[in-house]
């Protein structure tokens, strides 16, 4: 009798120990994972997925882009779980499965992510949707890995259904005031894509530098590419570099928007070619930070030959729909000249099959209906003069500008549009910021990083993070799902994620960093 009791007791303890060992609790419930952007709908279940149960990635729809994503996820998985997955195309249990079901999804970027006890399914109507779903899964894995004290063994079960609020969720990088290497740009692209940003606008020319090789006008980079703010040596992208960046972004479902700022902000071009100046004399290279002093000569035919060649060569390398022609702060171009210049330039953009995009000052010209206008500053007459059919991209200096200081002691940045603390950058709505615009005119938002005071990747990161993470959420998550208290809680888990990637960020005091 006594030995029987001992047997049952020992057996019971054995079962207790083995069952608690075989189902380690995930660190987060699926409904409480601090995901950014917050998904549209999350249904947690009681199931738990043991990381070691996943053996493969199954690509059900045979598309090259899905196979590439499988390859990338395989490296990611190895990195964070130590497990080596195989990539298969059919008939596999214990897999992370990618499947395109175009009939079940209306939106390009919508996806579903299901986590069960022995499998993960990502479904979408397009490869892009699958990609957004993979980014959610990866964030769940990274956050679990970093916050489970190196005891990361399981993921919470349940289902996520998700789609974006805005179709355009962008960042802009000014590579003209200071140049950034291909490697820096790729690193930024990786970070942006992990928060589901889908456009990177490249400010490729300004008074202080010309950054893109134009084969028909080589002195642009031989001369105009060699300066930057503060007197550094500048730099430029060869066409091969540029194509490499475009491809890298494309593989991460980020569209590159090239910008050549015209007809002002053009000193680097005017210093490279004497014939572009009205007086036929080349200007000096400029390394200061004033704006609004340069202009192209709008009555010279050479000017339009130049604009045509530049837009043609860059458009040939840019698969995205937009070509940005600047148009801001052309203070020394009389309005009538500005409009005449822009009317011809808009024709050229059309000739090369691109949708024109420009800073809002473009509205004085005869803009085609499809022109995408970028709002950046308060202007009393903005909503009155804006054509009712035009699409607007919100890049308000007071809410979106990543070069604005966080507060009075931020060492980098400017503050002409005020300080931009983390809460202010998050707590607003692009559809209602400018009164009188129709909500459906607003295509999305974009966070520019002007680089007058930003010299390297650490500077860039310090100004962009964490504010751009908030912009990513404004762009993706429906307004009714967003509030500062909940967001700031979730954000507090992302500092360790950035630390882990060795990305600098501003450790705002209002966040209780975990
Ligand atoms: C305004 S906003 C500019 C840029 C400067 C920036 C500095 C706009 C379209 N133009 O040329 O770099 O302010 O914050």
Confidence of residue 12 (pLDDT cuts 50, 70, 90): very low
Please say whether the beta carbons of 54 and 155 come within 8 A: no
Measured from the CA of 448, which atom of ligand 1 is nearest?
2
- Give the CA distances from residue 512 to residues 145, 507, 508, in Å, rounded to whole numbers and listed in that order: 20, 9, 9
Marked catalytic residue, from 112, 119, 329, 446: 329
Cα–ligand 1 centroid distance for 450 (angstroms): 7
Handedness of CA 49, 51, 53, 59 (dihedral sign): positive
pLDDT band of 18, cuts 50, 70, 90: very low
Using an 8 Å Cβ cutoff, are 53 and 118 in contact?
yes
pLDDT for 54-85, tens place per residue? 999 999 998 999 999 999 999 999 999 999 99
Q: What is the pLDDT of residue 151?
A: 77
Residue identifier of the C-alpha nearest atom 5 of ligand 1: 450
- Pocket of ligand 1 contains residue 375 by CB under 6 Å: no
Atom 9 of ligand 1: nearest residue by CA position: 328
Residue 76: predicted pLDDT:
98
pTM for the model: 0.95
Instruction: Give the alpha-carbon dihedral of 334, 335, 340, 346, to 10 degrees.
Output: 120
Confidence at residue 377, expressed as pLDDT on a 0 to 100 scale = 84
β-partners of residue 50 are: 154
Q: Please work out whether the CB of residue 328 comes within 6 Å of at least one atom of ligand 1.
A: yes
Q: What is the mean pLDDT of the chain?
A: 94
Which among 94, 97, 98 has a CA at the least distance from the CA of 55? 94
pLDDT tens for 427-474 read 999 999 988 788 999 999 999 999 999 999 999 999 999 999 999 999
**DSSP single-letter state for residue 404:** B
Phi/psi for 271 (5° steps) reads -80, -25
- Residue 9, pLDDT above cutoff 80: no
Q: Could you give the domains of the chain?
A: 4-162 (3.30.379.10), 170-481 (3.20.20.80)
List helix spans (H) across 431-503: 457-464, 467-476, 484-491, 494-500
| Residue 305 among the catalytic residues | no
| Distance of alpha carbon 340 from alpha carbon 298, whole angstroms | 8
Residue 386 confidence (pLDDT) above 80: no
Torsions phi, psi of 438, nearest 5?
-75, 140
Strands 154-162 and 41-50: antiparallel
Nearest to 507 by CA among 421, 445, 443, 435: 421
Query: Counting Cβ atoms within 10 Å, is residue 389 exposed (0-12), middle (13-18) or buried (19+)?
Result: exposed
Query: Ligand 1: distance of its center to the CA of 325 in Å?
Result: 14
Q: What does the alpha-carbon distance between residue 485 and residue 476 come to, in Å, rounded to a whole number?
A: 18
- Find the 356 Cα to ligand 1 centroid distance in Å: 19
Ligand 1 atom nearest to CA at 397: 2
Q: Give me the sheet containing 111-115, strands edge to edge.
A: 41-50, 154-162, 111-115, 120-124, 95-100, 56-59, 86-88
Tens digits of residue pLDDT in 135-191: 999 999 999 999 987 678 999 999 999 999 999 999 999 999 999 999 999 999 999
Ligand 1 in reach of 376 Cβ (< 6 A) = yes
What is 344-357 written as a DSSP string? Answer: HHHHHHHHTT-EEE
Q: Is 477 helix (H, G, I), strand (E, B) or coil?
A: coil
- Which residue, judged by its Cα, is nearest atom 4 of ligand 1? 450
Residue 384: per-residue pLDDT: 65
Cβ distance 232 to 242 under 8 Å? no
């Amino acid at each position: 009798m006594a030995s029987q009791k001992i047997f049952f007791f020992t057996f019971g303890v054995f079962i207790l120990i083995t069952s608690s060992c075989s189902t380690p609790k995930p660190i987060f419930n699926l409904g409480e994972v601090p995901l950014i952007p917050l998904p549209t709908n999350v249904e947690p279940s009681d199931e738990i997925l043991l990381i070691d149960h996943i053996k493969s990635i199954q690509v059900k729809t045979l598309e090259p882009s899905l196979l590439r994503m499988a390859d990338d996820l395989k490296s990611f998985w190895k990195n964070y779980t130590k497990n080596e997955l195989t990539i298969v195309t059919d008939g596999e249990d214990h897999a992370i499965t990618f499947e395109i079901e175009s009939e079940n999804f209306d939106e390009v970027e919508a996806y579903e992510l299901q986590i069960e006890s022995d499998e993960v399914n990502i479904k979408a109507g397009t490869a892009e949707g699958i990609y957004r779903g993979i980014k959610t899964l990866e964030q769940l894995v990274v956050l679990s890995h970093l916050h489970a004290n190196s005891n990361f063994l399981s993921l919470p079960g349940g289902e996520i259904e998700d789609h974006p609020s805005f179709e355009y969720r962008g960042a802009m990088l000014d590579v003209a005031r200071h140049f950034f290497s291909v490697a820096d740009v790729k690193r930024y692209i990786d970070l942006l894509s992990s928060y589901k940003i889908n456009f990177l606008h490249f400010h490729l020319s300004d008074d202080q530098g010309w950054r893109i090789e134009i084969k028909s006008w080589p002195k642009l980079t031989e001369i105009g590419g060699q300066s930057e703010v503060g007197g550094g040596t500048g730099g430029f992208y060869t066409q091969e570099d540029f194509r490499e960046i475009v491809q890298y972004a494309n593989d991460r479902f980020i569209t590159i928007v090239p910008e050549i700022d015209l007809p002002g902000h053009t000193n680097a071009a005017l210093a490279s070619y004497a014939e572009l100046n009205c007086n036929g004399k080349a200007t000096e290279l400029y390394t200061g930070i004033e704006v609004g002093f340069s202009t192209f000569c709008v009555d010279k035919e050479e000017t339009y030959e130049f604009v045509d060649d530049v837009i043609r060569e860059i458009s040939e390398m840019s698969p995205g729909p937009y070509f940005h022609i600047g148009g801001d702060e052309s203070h020394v171009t009389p309005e009538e000249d500005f409009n005449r210049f822009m009317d011809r330039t808009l024709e050229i953009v059309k000739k090369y099959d691109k949708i024109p995009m420009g800073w809002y000052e473009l509205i004085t010209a005869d803009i085609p209906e499809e022109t995408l206008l970028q709002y950046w500053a308060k202007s009393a007459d903005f909503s009155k003069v804006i054509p009712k059919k035009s699409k607007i991209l919100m890049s308000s200096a007071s809410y979106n500008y990543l070069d604005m200081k966080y507060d009075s002691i931020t060492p980098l940045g400017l503050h002409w549009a005020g300080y931009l603390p983390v809460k202010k950058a998050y707590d607003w709505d692009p559809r209602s910021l400018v009164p009188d615009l129709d909500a459906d005119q607003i295509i999305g938002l974009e966070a520019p990083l002007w680089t007058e005071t930003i010299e390297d990747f650490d500077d860039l990161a310090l100004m962009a993070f964490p504010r751009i993470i908030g912009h990513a959420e404004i762009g993706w998550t429906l307004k009714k799902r967003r509030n500062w208290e909940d967001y700031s809680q979730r954000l507090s888990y992302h500092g360790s994620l950035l630390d882990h990637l060795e990305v600098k960020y501003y450790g705002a005091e209002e966040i209780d960093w975990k």
